[in-house]
């Protein structure tokens, strides 16, 4: 029985650990927290998982909360701006695309704690310890394969940044999120749940995401602000109450239609807020330990995108599924550096589409992208196609990135290519 060590207890690490466990591997997981510490801790993310990622969980029997989490049947976009003759901030663009399969969000405090419990109950070895490079140096010789699925801390230094695949060297957004109860329904399509993004030109973006948290159904209010801009105001907040107050003030100023349904919200728990920023990066997947041993990076350890396109949990699930297949197919052959790079490139074949799309959306939006977003408000198939691109970002290659392709697509869809947002 091949022995595998996985360091990190997030989406990619635990999904992979439970998948390998089901295949009969001897798996050890190192987590820096116990399940109870995760449950009672601070929120970790703004996850929203689409059809393909949810299918990977379902195939492994890990969809423990599928019947409890709200089902987002659509994905909407709005653009804040002015309308001639109408005072105040308006929505000159507002649309919702129907998803081919519902999306769901489960607070990672709920999911990771539950998956850790399941891993231990099924006979897995759980070691609660904040691993350092020296720990891996000692443990590598005792395992056939060591995988690092921790996207922060000292271990990330094992994986060198790949400048050819990493165009940004500084954070592109200042992030601030709140999990809340009490958000009212949208006036448009109140009959079903949807995740919604509002673009505020020159300011940033706001996501509103239905989720399941430790206290039941909730919504995530998630600001992505341009660094140094009017939304980048969360560095000095004193406690979660002030964090929520600033969040609501920003809603009132920049997206009053969302503020109107948020006047009665309250935080779900004392750990329901988070703020920060990080640099998107792709890293060399093979890390070399001081003793010469090798480790393979997983998920955010080697491909980390800004959460603007809510792809983090999806990418982690796809990475885990890809690595699981590569490990099983390897049989009894050694997990050498050549195999590690091949396994990563297999995953990168899909991950590159997420990185390209996210990095594009982080930058200034070109006229043809603004025209596509405008067009979706006038033609439902365009809205539906953009929405379903969140499940399969490779589809954006066909029409999203250059003006000629976008113009051809809009012309075929009988939507004027002119326009701007």
pLDDT digits (tens, 9 = 90+) for 273-300: 999 999 999 999 999 999 999 999 999 9
pTM: 0.95
CB within 8 A of 420, min separation 6: which ones? 367, 370, 371, 374
Tokens representing 380 are: 């439902």
pLDDT digits (tens, 9 = 90+) for 245-275: 999 999 999 999 999 999 999 999 999 999 9
Write out the CATH class of domain 72-103+173-276. alpha beta
Domain assignments of the chain as residue spans, ordered by start: 3-63+107-168+280-361, 72-103+173-276, 364-412
Nearest to 188 by CA among 249, 258, 256, 248: 258
Q: Does 317 have pLDDT greater than 70?
A: yes
Distance CA 153, CA 157 (A): 8
Distance CA 394, CA 154 (A): 33
CATH of domain 3-63+107-168+280-361: 3.50.50.60
**Across the chain, what does the average pLDDT equal?**
95
């Amino acid at each position: 029985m091949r022995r595998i060590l996985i360091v990190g207890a997030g989406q990619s690490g635990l999904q992979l650990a439970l998948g390998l466990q089901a295949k009969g591997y001897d798996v050890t997981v190192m987590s820096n927290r116990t399940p109870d510490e995760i449950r009672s801790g601070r929120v970790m993310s703004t996850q929203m998982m689409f059809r393909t990622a949810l299918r990977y969980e379902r195939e492994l029997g890990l969809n423990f909360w599928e019947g409890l989490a709200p089902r987002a049947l659509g994905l909407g976009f709005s653009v804040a701006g002015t309308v001639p003759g109408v005072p105040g901030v308006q929505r000159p663009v507002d649309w919702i695309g129907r998803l081919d399969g519902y999306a769901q969000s489960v607070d990672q405090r709920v999911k990771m704690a539950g998956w850790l419990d399941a891993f231990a109950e099924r006979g897995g070895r759980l070691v609660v310890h904040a691993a350092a490079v020296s720990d891996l140096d000692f443990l590598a010789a005792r395992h056939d394969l060591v995988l690092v699925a921790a996207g922060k801390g000292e271990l990330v230094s094992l994986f060198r940044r790949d400048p050819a695949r990493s165009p940004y060297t500084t954070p592109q957004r200042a992030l601030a999120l709140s999990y809340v109860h009490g958000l009212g329904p949208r006036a448009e399509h109140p009959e079903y749940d949807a995740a919604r993004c509002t673009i505020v030109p020159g300011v940033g973006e706001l996501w509103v995401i239905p989720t399941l948290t430790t206290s039941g159904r909730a919504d995530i209010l998630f600001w992505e602000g341009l660094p140094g801009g009017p939304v980048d105001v969360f560095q000095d907040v004193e406690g979660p109450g002030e964090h929520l107050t600033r969040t609501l003030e920003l809603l009132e100023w920049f997206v009053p239609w969302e503020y109107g349904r948020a006047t009665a919200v309250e935080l779900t728990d004392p750990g329901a807020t988070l703020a920060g920023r990080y640099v998107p990066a792709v890293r060399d997947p093979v890390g070399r330990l001081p003793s010469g041993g090798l480790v393979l990076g997983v998920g955010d350890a080697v491909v980390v995108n800004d959460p603007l396109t809510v792809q983090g949990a999806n990418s982690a699930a796809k990475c885990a599924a890809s690595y699981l297949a590569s490990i099983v197919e390897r049989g009894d052959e050694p997990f050498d550096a050549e195999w590690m790079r091949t396994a990563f490139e297999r995953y990168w074949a899909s991950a590159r589409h997420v990185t390209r799309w996210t990095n594009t959306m982080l930058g200034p939006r070109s006229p043809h992208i603004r025209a596509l977003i405008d067009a979706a408000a006038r033609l439902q198939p365009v809205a539906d196609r953009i929405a379903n691109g969140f499940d399969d970002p490779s589809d954006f290659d066909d029409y999203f990135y250059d003006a000629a392709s976008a113009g051809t697509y809009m012309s075929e869809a009988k939507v004027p290519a002119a326009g701007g947002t």
